[in-house]
A and B are shown apart, each in its own frame.
Chain A
Amino acid sequence: MNLFRSEEHARRWPAFQARSEEGFIGLAELAGFFATESRHHMLDADYLSNWYPRRVAERGAYLERIGKTSPFWLGTPDPTRTQ
């Protein structure tokens, strides 16, 4: 999960995975992805018990909102790939 100067720079990275062509995200969308409500409470006394458990649902909802609904982004099983 890295930041690159541009998509072309990422594609030239020797470790670039061909499948990760769908792994690009604009910086504004990325900042939004990591700005869901629970993130605002990371210093709170009840973060671990109360806020952290909400994170998965928040992330899923945000990814759906920006159209990143593939197994690659959602971390769900990918029926097109065999183990």
Chain B
Amino acid sequence: MADALLMDRMFQRIMRGLADTGSAPHYAELARALGLGVEQGRLLLHDVMRAYPIGWLHPETDYIASFPPLNNLPTQYRITVRGAQRWFAQCGFEATSVTWLFPGETVRVDVPCLDCGDPVSIEMRDGRIVWIDPPGVVGHLNYGFGPSRGRPPFL
């Protein structure tokens, strides 16, 4: 396992890259930014993902698919900040924590209901819910937390 400081630095680069641009950096870009060789960067990325198992690489690749609360692979949970829809949340639960990546900003979550396709919208600011439509929106955990939840890429 790589040293903790280096892993922290890569983690922060990924999280900030996602928050700033909506896309996760590639390991070659991360390597250059951290002063590492490309292969060292790739191996460090795998170490970081093992240390942060609530995210994952796309199966059989070195591409970041999910890095919660955001997702590099589009999901139905569209996130809009400052009028730009550039981000996706990992899931409906993580969508409520995206607000912590954008302090002082209104973060809007738009998602089609999986039953009827009609819109569900939430706006949050610094952790507070400031707007909901429709008012009865609920969160639903279909599989329990822990081992029963199934394979992460199909969360």
Q: Which residues of A contact B (CB under 8 A)?
A: 1-7, 9-10, 12-13, 15-17, 19-20, 23-31, 33-35, 39-40, 42-49, 52, 70-76, 78
Contacts and interface: CB of A to CB of B under 8 A. Distances in A.
A81 B137 CA distance: 30
B117 to A, nearest CB: 10
B84 interface: no
Nearest to A52: B52
Interface string B92-121: 111111001100000001010111101010
Contact of A23 (B16, B52, B129, B142): B142
A62 to B, nearest CB: 12
A3 B116 contact: no
B145 A72 contact: yes
B145 A75 contact: yes
B139 A35 contact: no
B140 A24 contact: yes
Nearest to B113: A5
Interface stretch (B6-14, B28-36, B56-64): B6-14
Nearest to A76: B146
Nearest to A20: B142
Contact of B116 (A9, A15, A49, A70): A9
Given A2-B92, A3-B95, A10 B7 contact: no
Contacts of B127: 31, 35, 40
A22 B12 CA distance: 36
Contacts of A35: 96-97, 100, 127
Contact of A43 (B16, B92, B93, B136): B16
Most chain A CB inside 10 Å of its own CB: which residue of B116, B120, B142, B147: B142
Contact of B139 (A16, A24, A44): A24
A28 B128 CA distance: 9
